[in-house]
Amino acid sequence: MSLIDRPEYIKKLKMWLGHADVMKIVTGVRRSGKSTLLTLFQENLLENGISESQIQEIKFELIENEEFLDRKKLHKHILKNINPDKMNYVFLDEIQLVDDWQKTVNSLRMHPNIDLYLTGSNAYMFSGKLATLIGGRYVEIQMLPLSFKEYVMGTGGSAGNLQEKYDTYTRESGFPQTVAFSGNRQLITDYLINTVYQNTIQKDIVKRFKLKDPARLDNVVRYMFDNIGNETSLRGIERGLKADRISLSPTTIDIYVQGLLDSYLMHKCDRYDIKGKKILQLNSKYYVADVGLRTALFGRASRDFGYMLENVVYLELVRRGYKVSVGKINDIEVDFVASKADGEVEYYQVAFTALEPNTLQRELSPLEKIKDNYPKFLLTMDSGTDTNNGIKRLNVLHWLMS
């Protein structure tokens, strides 16, 4: 399988090249391509004059590297193999597997000729007392599975078959390895459920919380996956599970949901009061890391095309560097408020189609309630572009490819 290029992430890593005092930590759901990204970046370094002797890489999931799970042995090994007269680029894959890894990387960071690049599959790695050792000394690059554009480019697609590509993308997933299965549905489904889903559940949640009954967790996961894009609360999840004769306390549900977020299997989208300009604490929405994974768990017959499209757009906005919230203006909901640190704001409504006049007005109405001058967009599968009262109507597939 040839490596699918991830240009946006390579660009982010290159931005920090030369800043050896800041560790680069690539995080994201398992099998999203973090290890491959490090390989691609090393190739980029070699093409730009860095010698192989300046590069060290250790993958902690490999048995041959088991001894380096001891942080002191890891530290000694790296220092023994550095080139003292040049900058050294050290790549540590799945660093969270090393006990007290923060102590080792913090020590290595203090060497002026060591530039550190790490990957990790769980946000929990940044919590606790040890994390204070690296606080403010790292930049996190959060990686997602393939975007629609990356998927199209990586599978030889063109602008002429975007609808077909989108159908395949949402059915077979954006996890890079599935591309190598050439449309074999059984292989893809087995990989997504057994390798991606089960590995993440077992290693990042069951093991971490020492769960004795993983089936209860699975019930919560399936409920969350089935309710992407719906306002959700712990009490709401409790009631939903009770309807299926599954009894779990809000406290237990809260632990499971936090595990899903920390493992990057799901993302939380808070509600935002557009008038009051503040985050609301109740009834957030949740989106899955990859809609193809959801399809693998539920089957294609259960696909809700509108909510799945909303999920795809949410992830794309996150990829583009926006902080994304669900907008509230009085009792009206705006699908997404996308903001950047520099104060730039954009508003988005997402609908599978808005060809019918009543549907179009229903989708435009929330955006028309917003009286500021920031850009407003309605994204649909409908062809062509148009403008209504300053609101830009765009074909969502062309927007995803832009």
At 160 the pLDDT is: 65
Q: Give me the percent of the chain exceeding a pLDDT of 90.
A: 83
pLDDT of residue 157 exceeding 70? no
CA distance 20 to 115: 4
SS3 of 287, please? strand
pLDDT averaged over every residue in the chain? 93
pLDDT per residue over 62-104, tens digit each? 999 999 999 999 999 999 999 999 999 999 999 999 999 999 9
| DSSP of 293-316 | HHHHHH-GGG--HHHHHHHHHHHH
Q: pLDDT-derived band of residue 183, with 50, 70 and 90 as boundaries?
A: confident
Architecture of domain 7-143: 3-Layer(aba) Sandwich (3.40)
47-55 long-range Cβ contacts below 8 angstroms, 24+ apart: 50/89, 51/86, 53/83, 54/83, 54/86, 54/87, 54/88, 54/89, 55/88, 55/89, 55/90, 55/91
Amino acid at 50: I
HSE-up (13 A, CA, CB side) for residue 153: 13
At 299 the pLDDT is: 80
Angle between the N-to-C axes of helices 234-242 and 214-226, in degrees from 0 to 180, rounded to the nearest 10: 110
At 129 the pLDDT is: 63
Q: Residue ranges per domain, the chain? A: 7-143, 148-401
Q: In the chain, what's the furthest Cα-to-Cα distance? A: 70
pLDDT of residue 302 exceeding 70? no
CA distance 121 to 95: 9
Given the structure tokens 């660093």, which residue do they identify? 95
- The answer for 184, left when phi > 0, alpha when psi is -120 to 50, beta otherwise, is beta
Task: Give yes or no for a contact between 282 and 271, defined as CB atoms under 8 angstroms apart.
Answer: yes
* pTM (2 d.p.): 0.94
For 336, counting Cβ atoms within 10 Å of its Cβ (0-12 exposed, 13-18 middle, 19+ buried), the class is: buried
Sign of CA dihedral 304, 309, 314, 315: positive
Given the structure tokens 């997602």, which residue do they identify? 144
CA distances 333 to 161, 195, 231, Å, are 33, 37, 11
Over range 230-237, report the average pLDDT: 92
For residues 138-150, b (16+ Cβ closer than 10 Å) or e, as one string?
beebbbbbbbbbb
CA distance 88 to 53: 8
At 158 the pLDDT is: 64
pLDDT of residue 2 exceeding 80? no
Over range 333-355, report the average pLDDT: 94
Q: pLDDT-derived band of residue 282, with 50, 70 and 90 as boundaries?
A: confident
Residues 6 or more apart whose Cβ sits within 8 Å of residue 20: 87, 109, 112, 113, 114, 115, 116
pLDDT of residue 303 exceeding 70? no
CB atoms within 10 A of CB 189: 20
CA distance 326 to 322: 13
Instruction: Give the pairing type, strands 332-339 and 345-350.
Output: antiparallel
CA distance 334 to 346: 11
Structure token digits, residue 305: 């095309």
Structure token digits, residue 254: 């809260």
pLDDT of residue 140 exceeding 70? yes
Over range 366-395, report the average pLDDT: 95
pLDDT of residue 173 exceeding 90? yes
Sign of CA dihedral 130, 208, 178, 161: negative
Q: pLDDT-derived band of residue 382, with 50, 70 and 90 as boundaries?
A: very high
